[in-house]
Structure 1
Amino acid sequence: MYFDPLWRIEVRLTATEQRPLRTWPVRRLAFIAHAGAASITTVQTYSRLEHSLGVLALVAHFAPEHQPARTAALLHDVGHLPFSHTLEGLAGLDHDLTRQQITALFAADAALGDDAGTIIALDDGSIPSPLTASHGGLKLDHLDSFLRSGQAHGRTRSAPHELLRRLHLRDGAVDADPVDAVELADLAISEALAQRSAANLVPVAVVRGLVGRLLDTGALEPTELVGMTDDELWSVLLSSTETRADAASLRRHPQQWQLRHHSDDSCGEPFSHVVRRSYLDLPRSGGRPTSDPRVAALQGDLPMWVSAKRIDDRTHVA
């Protein structure tokens, strides 16, 4: 049994779900922060495994008999790098790692039932399922993200489990009454704003820069990075001569790093980052799409080029 504390759903885990939960690729997600590098500077410290189990709980709530979708929910983030989205794109590493991990898990255990291709297709939406918003809108993956983050930061107005009782799932899209649709839109927009704040972008830019430095010098191989947890990566960053000073500074004195905005990607700063996307899918209401002018404004601000710079070297750690 699994009881999800956010949604207050009790899930009777099938044998197909219990088996991957005993493997390291899935267990590893317990040591990957869902918020990525923002877990360094905020209270959003829950793991990718908690989120994955939350999405499983939602599928079990709305479509309890859909075993392939339940399996896909559990495995949909299995390929994440340390610090989740923070390091995506470095050394060409991207979401294709999830497909590779799912393929490897099924190859290692024939008792998992469905074939890997089906689970991958459910994950990427090429096969419609409770995980896929077929005609656009808020899907279960993002519903869990917005509510789990909102709860961690105190942004929710309704208790998540009470809100859930009022929601419906239509063709994979979350459908809410007008009042709840506004709350869900507020949570999505608040999450996008939080991801553009200094509390998120400073650690993202610094961690990306430090890991990029190790990859460029050959001190860290991409194949090593793929299998690491957050704490294992921290160990490397704090022990390597190329990164230890900046890594220690970020952990101990994050307030002494300043976020700077740039008009393009030619800033030349060593700790730079570009924000290219935000998750701003809105729920449907009465089967119809909803809209919010704030979404268009946020999308219009992208791409966003930023850099982080240490503004006080007196705390330099050798």
Structure 2
Amino acid sequence: MSDTKIKLTSSATERLDEFLRRELPRSVNTTAEHGLFSNSKIRRLIVSGSVSVNSRVVNRPAFELRGKSTIEVLFDSERFFYEKQPEDASFTMSDDAVLYEDENLIFVNKPADYPVEQTITENRANLHDAVVDYLWKRNPSLRNPPYVGIMHRLDRTTSGVIVFTKTRTVNKEVSEVFQNHNLTKQYLAVVEDKKSVGESFTVELYMNRITGKSQQGKWGEVPESRGGQYSKTDFRVLKKITIEGRPCLLIECSLYTGRTHQIRVHLAARGLPIFGDELYGGRPAKRLYLHASHLAFELTGQKYDVRCESQFS
């Protein structure tokens, strides 16, 4: 997910939340119903620090605009329109969830159905906050919460290895590793039994979001001329397994690029939607069977190679 920067102007004297309640729908999606932009969502957007007035972040919904003002909004449609799901997992961060840790990084085994970070939904439990709390409890003498940086994300429904930074000094280098894809990133996915064990195949296509901003995010094949971004994944069928009483295949997925929903879109394009991935045509299941199993890269001369076994392998 990424924020879109929306710039608005006002010459009236009025409250910031009332101004955004009126003007934001026009800038985000002209077809969206105003009811989607509820007062509570507008307030949470402001309180989250996503709104600035004349280049200064404003956290008070009742802030009064006076005279000519420039309002900038960092807007992520998925977070804004998200409604809390009752199936969010319950999770308590513990030593068992730490896959590897040193003075710069901490690798964590993320549970399925648990968001990586706070969303526009107020007080939603998330992995980032859980890691901050975990590190703080280990060092209660700290006056302020320890720093934990988010360098990449996993979908809420995906489990497996994710890394956070523990110091700001390595953020730039880690960010470049992910941006330039100078890393190994592998997943395990469960699909229906339609291929032979040992079979390998590659999917390459241009993809982008294919649903409107006010709808659940869904990606698909889009021509490069219409904004599609190149994506590539190698797949290898590892073995036959039985999941929830159904004959399935366990597939290893090696990413060359890191597009949103890339593995889900690529497998669905080959007629192999992930078990539990109803958004892309998969059969209903207790969870979406996608797991980040391997993350490896080099940082400041040190090699990191972290693996995380899935519970369904």
TM value normalised by structure 2: 0.29
TM-score, structure 1 normalization: 0.29
Q: Which has the higher strand share?
A: 2
The structure in which a higher percent of residues are helix is 1
Computing the radius of gyration from Cα coordinates, the structure with the larger value is 2
